[in-house]
Chain A
Amino acid sequence: MLFPTPTFAVFFLLVFTAYWLTRSRPVLWKVVLLAAGWVFYAWWDWRLLFLLGGAIALNHSIAVAMGRWSPRVWLILGVAANLAVLGFFKYYNFFVTNLVSALQSLGWEPPRPALHVLVPIGISFFTFEAIAYLIEIRRGMVERMRLLDFAVYLSFFPKLASGPITRPSEFTPQMDLPRMGPTGPSTALWLIARGLFKKMVLATYLADAVTSGVFSAPGQYSGVEVLVGVYAFTAQIYLDFSAYTDMAIGLALLLGFRLPENFDRPYTRITVTTFWAHWHMTLTRWLRDFVFTPMASRSRQTTASTMRILFLVMLLIGVWHGAGWTFVVFGVIHGAALAVERLARVRRRSTGRPPVPVRPLGRIARWAVTFHVVALGWVFFRADSVASAFEILGRLVTPGGFERISPWVAVMVVASLGAQFVPGRLTARFKRLTTLRPVLQAALLGVVLLLVDTLGPVGVSPFIYFRF
């Protein structure tokens, strides 16, 4: 079930009503929330419930075992089991295909694999949440939850398909007494409206008008058009993913839960390191706390070892996104960038200079380099293959002007990216919408729906991050 559909609107209205009607009866209220999550997930394929149910049963059992026997051993077993399930669903096809290709290159003809595994929606997200649960128990950050509470946490539908990856320590306290949210339901409604507009109008327009064509047939576009296509995908992936996050946070707020933020104007950052601190923040936070920090604390803590760990973590981020050499290259680009930045920072510090340039021209240059490193990463992220990515990059030097793409698309791309530079005090003015009378808000939200449906496409294409 996709958020921007009439089916989901009806579903949410029913859930919202049942949710708040049963709020005074905690067990029933949690059952309603759990049922909502399962219906939402089963809407794609009812068989997925076995996977989600299995994850709940497995991790709850391990959490129980951690309280009775050797917690460290059970933690290792639990993390390994979660990663094994994730690995099987996400990487089986990749490894089998590459193994068959390797054997064929040696002159063997192995039988074609009979099994083709489909990646279940949201598996990366809820698996990481389950691992976070086991680690947080081990670290004493949360108590072991009751089975129903844990099932609600893992199945909470606003975040189930694509995050934000929420920690048990920030979710479970809210289960005791969820309210409409500290930022208010009006904010929630406008977050959902903003997400709808970003996904259905802006991201879809960029996909239809430029990125789909440029990435599937770069040979038909001039160099400047391919460049606009690369920039357009850079904007599109932000609009698409942050739109989902806006809607997820808004829906959760309406149910009284505050989910963590996932984006904070990432394209305004002047280093790749700070880009990652503001892009898919819940994933980078997870990897920082559960992979980078433990590894760094066990290492010799030299610049070289830190660079190696940073590189490894970014490689993990690459392959977390998907099984494919394009994602490996994506991880390598970012890993190399982070390692180089680390080295440069250490050297600047050793010569008494500030870690990043302070003069405007220097900062602009650093921003331009950072932006283009990130955009280069997105080329591999979006391309069908590494060869295809190089073909796209090769087209950048092709002469020609705007023939297939309207110059207005370039304006749209610049506006989409430039919006992140708008100062917070100006965007804060839009918050006045939340102070309008409810009748006026309802009318304006109706107009947003008119604009979204008229300017948007026929049907809804899945969010990019649903694949991960």
Chain B
Amino acid sequence: MRNTTPSGDMSVRTVSAVMVAALSLGALFNAQSLATSASALSPGPARSVAMAVTDGVVTMSGALGLDRPRALLEEMLGRGSGGNGEGRPRPVFVPSPNRRASMLIAGDSLVDPFGPQLARVASAAGVLTARWEIQYSSGLTRPQLFDWAEHFEGELAERPTDIVVFMVGANDSQPIETPQGWASSGTPEWVTEYTGRVAAMMTLLESRVGTVYWVGQPIARSEITRRG
């Protein structure tokens, strides 16, 4: 690499070193946060790689004691117990006919009867503009088929939305890919991975819209169906 900086104060090589060093230090300081972000990625090779890398960074950060400045800062901000440090109630969004809330009802085939009905009832109040989106056979175990996280990233960026009603799960009682390999439905590994994906989806949605409703599965009459 050429060191061509006739009027600059650092060579290209030095700038590269400074950037790598600063980013590495930043990663070590924020290791836990990076690990959380990695776990929120859509399942797939990129997530597996990101989680493996951030696991290593977390270990190194702990060993070097570089996780302590952040812990100290968060303690000073009063975030230790999950509070936001503000101590004030978050304002509740109150839509009105002049300022209608935008609601998205999304999910798998079970949204088919539920979504349009909810949209009709909600819209009748005159303060909501509802739309629905159904992706048949979708869920959280097979993002290769339909990646809800990626879809929401684009959809919510393009169309400002206040409320998301999300309902998936009917198609999810099948093996799931974990960083350690495939796990059968219902096993502890499956539960851990699936819980992580639900949490990641909630984190994503809550960071994009004011209110998220996660609708659970209806209780099936058949015991076998109910257990999935």
Contact residues of A with B, CB < 8 Å? 6, 9, 13, 16-17, 20-21, 23-24, 44-45, 118-119, 179-182, 184-186, 189, 209, 212-213, 216-217, 219-221, 254, 384-385, 387-388, 391, 404-406, 434-435, 438-439, 441-443, 445-451, 453-455, 457-459, 461-462, 466
Given A216-B93, A454-B70, A458-B203, A449-B29 contact (CB < 8 Å): yes
Q: CA separation between A16 and B77, bound complex, in Å?
A: 36
Contact B8 A442, beta carbon cutoff 8 Å: no
A44 to chain B: which residues have CB within 8 Å?
A: 154
Residues of B contacting A: mostly: helix
Docked complex Cα distance between A462 and B208 (Å): 10
Residues 82 to 134 of chain B near chain A (Cβ within 8 Å): 86, 88-94, 96, 98-99
Given A384-B99, A387-B99, A458-B207, also A13-B20 (CB < 8 A) = yes
Within 8 Å of chain A (Cβ to Cβ): is B145?
no
Asked if B56 is at the interface of the complex by the 8 Å CB criterion, the answer is: no
A438 and B1 contact, CB distance less than 8 A: no
Contact, CB under 8 Å: B5 / A185: yes
Residues of B within 8 A of A459 (CB): 37, 203-204, 207
Most B Cβ at <10 Å: residue of A220, A388, A404, A450: A450
- Residues of chain B with a CB closer than 8 A to A388's CB: 98-99
Q: In the complex, which residues of chain A have a beta carbon less than 8 angstroms from the beta carbon of B18?
A: 189, 438, 441-442, 445
Contact A446 B8 (CB under 8 A): no
A445 CB contacts on chain B under 8 angstroms: 18, 22, 25-26
CA gap between A457 and B16 in the complex, in Å: 28
Which residues of chain B come closer than 8 Å to A185, judged between CB atoms? Answer: 5, 8-10, 15
Contact of A446 among B21, B86, B98, B162 (CB under 8 A): B21
CB pair A216 B9 closer than 8 Å: no
Q: A443-B25, A453-B30 are in contact. List 7 more A-B contacts (CB 8 A).
A: A189-B22, A217-B92, A446-B25, A447-B29, A448-B26, A449-B30, A466-B157
* Chain A residues whose CB sits within 8 angstroms of the CB of B17 once the complex forms: 438, 442
* Cβ distance B77 to chain A, nearest Cβ, rounded Å: 8
B88 touches A446 (CB 8 A): no
Are B4's CB and A453's CB within 8 A?
Answer: no
Task: Answer whether residue B2 sits at the interface, using C-beta atoms and an 8 A cutoff.
Answer: yes
A23 touches which one: B2, B91, B204 (CB < 8 A)?
Answer: B2
In angstroms, how far is the closest chain B Cβ from the Cβ of A27?
17
Instruction: Provide the bound-state CA to CA distance between A447 and B5, in Å.
Output: 26
On chain A, the residues within 8 Å of B86 by CB distance are: 209, 406
Taken together as a complex, chains A and B put the C-alpha atoms of A23 and B16 apart, in Å, by 15
Judge whether B195 is part of the interface by a CB distance below 8 angstroms: no
User: Smallest CB-CB separation from B86: which chain A residue?
Assistant: A406
Chain A residues, CB < 8 A from B73: 450-451, 454-455
Asked if B158 and A449 sit within 8 Å, CB to CB, the answer is no
CB atoms of A220 and B19 under 8 A apart? no
- Contact between chains at B98 and A391 (CB < 8 Å): yes
B190-228, CB under 8 A of A: which get 1 and which 0?
A: 000000000000011001101000000000000000000
Nearest A-chain residue to B5, judged by Cβ: A180
A20, B208: Cα distance in complex, Å: 37
Contact indicator B99/A180 (Cβ below 8 Å): no
With a cutoff of 8 Å between Cβ atoms, the chain B residues found around residue A189 in the complex are 15, 18-19, 22
**B12 at interface by CB-CB < 8 Å:** yes
Tell which of B6, B19, B96, B208 touches A16, judged by Cβ atoms closer than 8 Å.
B19
The chain A residue sitting closest to B69, CB to CB, is A450
Within the assembled complex, what's the spacing in Å between the Cα atoms of A439 and B18? Answer: 7
Q: Does B177 sit at the interface, judged by CB under 8 A? A: no
Nearest chain A residue, comparing its CB with the CB of B74: A454
Q: Does B81 contact A (CB under 8 A)?
A: no
Q: Residue B23 at the A interface, CB < 8 A?
A: yes
Instruction: Please pick, from A20, A434, A439, A449, the residue contacting B26 in the complex, using a CB distance under 8 A.
Output: A449
Residue of B whose beta carbon sits closest to that of A44: B154
A184 B10 Cβ-Cβ under 8 A = yes
| Neighbour of B4 across the interface among A119, A179, A254, CB < 8 A | A179
Distance to closest chain A CB from B54 (angstroms): 9
Report chain B residues within 8 Å CB of A406: 86, 88
The contact of B93 among A217, A450, A466, by CB within 8 Å, is: A217
Once the chains bind, are A449 and B25 in contact (CB under 8 Å)? yes
Contact B94 A217 (CB under 8 A): yes
Chain A contacts of B4 at CB under 8 A? 23, 179-180
Q: In the bound complex, what is the Cα–Cα distance between A20 and B9 (angstroms)? A: 16
CA distance in complex: A434, B22 (Å)? 14
CB<8 Å pairs between A and B, sample of 6:
A16-B16, A179-B4, A184-B5, A189-B19, A434-B9, A453-B30
Chain A: CB-nearest residue to B21: A442
With known contacts A446-B26, A454-B70, A459-B203, A213–B91 Cβ distance under 8 A: yes
Complex contact A220–B1 (CB within 8 A): no
Bound Cα distance A446, B88 (Å): 32
Cα separation A455 to B73 with both chains bound (whole Å): 9
Q: Within 8 Å CB of B74, what residues of A?
A: 454
For residue B209, give the distance in angstroms from its CB to the closest CB of chain A.
11
User: How far is A459 from B33 in the complex, measured between Cα atoms in Å?
Assistant: 10
Task: Return chain B residues, CB-CB under 8 Å to A17.
Answer: 1, 16
| Cβ distance A327 to chain B, nearest Cβ, rounded Å | 15
When distances are taken between beta carbons in the complex, the residues of chain B under 8 Å from A404 are 88-89, 91
Bound-complex Cα distance A457 to B34 (A): 13
Asked if B14 is an interface residue, CB under 8 A from chain A, the answer is yes
CA distance A179 to B12 in the complex (A): 10
Q: Please indicate the chain B residues that have their CB under 8 angstroms from the CB of A254 in the complex.
A: 15
For chain B residues 51-92, which have a beta carbon within 8 Å of chain A? Answer: 69-70, 73-74, 77, 86, 88-92
Chain A hits for B207, CB < 8 A: 457-459, 461
CB <8 Å contact, A462 and B157: yes
**Chain B min CB distance to A259 (Å):** 16
**Bound state CA distance, A6 and B96, in angstroms?**
39
CB distance from B156 to the nearest CB of A (A): 10
Interchain CA distance A461-B204 in the complex, whole Å: 11
